[in-house]
Amino acid sequence: MASRSLRYSVAMCGRFTHFLTWREIVALYRITEPSAENAPNLQPRYNMAPTQEAPVVRHNPETGGRSLDLLRWGLIPHWAKDAMIGNKLINARAEGIDTKPSFRSAFAKRRCLIPTSGFYEWKREGTKKQPYAIALKGGEPMSFAGLWENWKTPEGEWLRTFTIITTEANEFLAPIHNRMPVILHPTAHTLWLGETPAKPETLKELLKPYPADQVEAWPVSTRVNNVRNEQADLWDRLEPRNSA
């Protein structure tokens, strides 16, 4: 899903949603930066796509607090010569993440959380692909495990980007797609953000499928295929057609 086009085939994880307000994020993630006066203007997003900016939670080692900033989706490694590589790095496979050149530095030093209300995945049905919305059964927010990077543009400006880590799908989601984003339980946030020292092996143990009995999925309109569509009803369950 590396293209900027308005219609394209999407990779896992290629689209997600975000309905959380600033106040909700502050409470859920104990955000200390920025202050409420300087908080980003978070609008509900029902079709977040690569190359767009999304809210990302990071640990600030200098202050010891947690920050929420808008970063561009599609990680650009610090050594990259061209920003276009970010279009291919919207996801990072958990397998071998500590050794892959594009991700190993960020895995060691720049881990983050991506707050989300849920995501979309496409299931092949015959010659077509049916989009599904996927969320936690209780309706609570998800926290994707992510990595972030700083990249200097040819003009000398710093661009901050992120990627979403994926793993094997659990048994519930496997019939839809063989991969899923890594969803971290709140008890793992401190470890993942680096607020508590951890060995790479311990961190990699967090990158596993979320329990199958805690997620749900439902078919949605194919209008989600087009990134221009951002209406709230994209998240609505697709009602079966009347055969009469």
Report yes or no: 143 and 189 within 8 Å, Cβ to Cβ. Answer: yes
What pLDDT sits at residue 242?
Answer: 45
Identify the segments of the chain with pLDDT beneath 50. 1-10, 242-244
CATH of domain 16-235: 3.90.1680.10
112 labelled catalytic: no
What pLDDT sits at residue 240?
Answer: 65
Structure tokens at 78: 């610090």
Pick the catalytic residue: 13, 62, 95, 230? Answer: 13
d(CA 15, CA 196): 30
34-42: which pairs have CB atoms within 8 A and are 24 or more residues apart? Answer: 34/67, 34/68, 39/68, 40/68, 40/69, 40/70, 42/18
What pLDDT sits at residue 39?
Answer: 76
Q: What is the residue extent of each domain of the chain?
A: 16-235
Angle at 52 between CA 40 and CA 75, to 5 degrees: 105
Pick the catalytic residue: 24, 121, 201, 205? Answer: 121
What pLDDT sits at residue 12?
Answer: 59
13 labelled catalytic: yes
What pLDDT sits at residue 6?
Answer: 34
What pLDDT sits at residue 38?
Answer: 74
What pLDDT sits at residue 77?
Answer: 96
Please write the tens of the pLDDT for every residue from 98-131. Answer: 999 999 999 999 999 999 999 999 999 888 999 9
Closest by CA to 121, choosing from 166, 155, 154, is 166
d(CA 142, CA 94): 18
Terminal Cα-to-Cα distance of the chain (whole angstroms): 38
Report yes or no: 223 and 229 within 8 Å, Cβ to Cβ. Answer: yes
Please give the model's pTM, rounded to 2 decimal places. 0.92
